[in-house]
A and B are shown apart, each in its own frame.
Chain A
Amino acid sequence: MGIHRGLNIVRDGLLFGYDTGYGVADNSTATRFYPGEPTTNLVTTNLETLGTDGSGQSSVGTRTTIAPNHVRIVDVTSNTRQSHLIQGLTASTTYTVSIQFKKVTGTPTFRFQIQGYNNSSYVSTIKFTNTAETGLLDIDGWQTAKWTFTLPSNCNAARIWWQDGADYTTYTHTFELKNPQLEAKGHVTPYVSGTRSSTQSLIDLKRTRNINISGASFDSTGQPNFDGTDDVVSLGTNFGFENNSFSIESIIKWDGGSEDTFFSYKDSTGGTQKDIHWRIYSSGQLRFDFYSDSINSATSSIIADEWVHLVVTYDLGSDSCICYKNGEVLMSGSSGPFLGNDANSTAYIGAWGNIQYFGGEIPALKIYNSAITAGEVKQNFNAYKNRFNI
Chain B
Amino acid sequence: MRFKNRRWLVMPTDKIDDIDFNQVHESNAESLRKSIDGTLTFVKYEVKVVDETYTETYEDIETGEEVSYTTEAGTYGRPDIYSEDYTEYNHSEILELLGTEEWTEQID
Contacts and interface: CB of A to CB of B under 8 A. Distances in A.
Interface of A: 55-56, 90, 92-94, 113, 115, 122, 124-125, 127-128, 150, 161, 168, 184, 186, 198, 214-215, 217, 219, 225, 227-230, 255, 257-258, 292, 354-357, 359
B62 A214 contact: no
Interface in B53-99: 56, 58-62, 67, 69, 76-77, 91, 94-95, 98-99
Contact of B27 (A113, A125, A184, A198): A198
Contacts of B62: 115, 122
B39 interface: no
B17 interface: no
A229 B94 contact: yes
Contacts of B26: 230
B77 A354 contact: no
Contacts of A90: 22
B35 interface: no
Contacts of B48: 94, 150, 186
Nearest to B89: A229
B62 to A, nearest CB: 5
Dominant secondary structure at the A interface: loop
Contacts of A186: 5, 46, 48, 77
A229 B95 contact: yes
Contacts of B46: 94, 186
Given A94-B48, A122-B62, A355 B42 contact: no
A228 B92 CA distance: 10
A168 B61 CA distance: 10
Contacts of B104: 355
28 contacts: A55-B61, A56-B61, A94-B46, A94-B76, A115-B61, A122-B62, A125-B61, A125-B67, A127-B56, A128-B58, A128-B59, A150-B77, A161-B61, A168-B59, A186-B48, A214-B27, A215-B27, A217-B25, A227-B6, A227-B44, A229-B33, A229-B94, A230-B31, A230-B32, A230-B33, A292-B108, A356-B107, A359-B95
Contacts of A357: 33, 98
B46 to A, nearest CB: 5
A264 to B, nearest CB: 12
Contacts of B107: 355-356
B105 interface: yes
A229 B22 contact: no
B23 A228 contact: no
A134 to B, nearest CB: 16
A124 B61 contact: no
A184 B22 contact: yes
Contacts of A184: 22
A92 B76 CA distance: 8
Given A127-B58, A128-B59, A219-B3, 13 more contacts: A150-B48, A186-B5, A186-B48, A214-B31, A215-B31, A228-B98, A229-B33, A229-B44, A229-B94, A229-B95, A230-B33, A257-B95, A356-B107
Contacts of A258: 99
A357 B32 CA distance: 13
B15 interface: no
A217 B22 CA distance: 13
Nearest to B43: A230
B31 A113 contact: no
A127 B69 CA distance: 10
Q: Which of B3, B28, B32, B62 has the most CB of A within 10 A?
A: B3
Contacts of B5: 186
Nearest to B24: A217
B98 A229 contact: yes
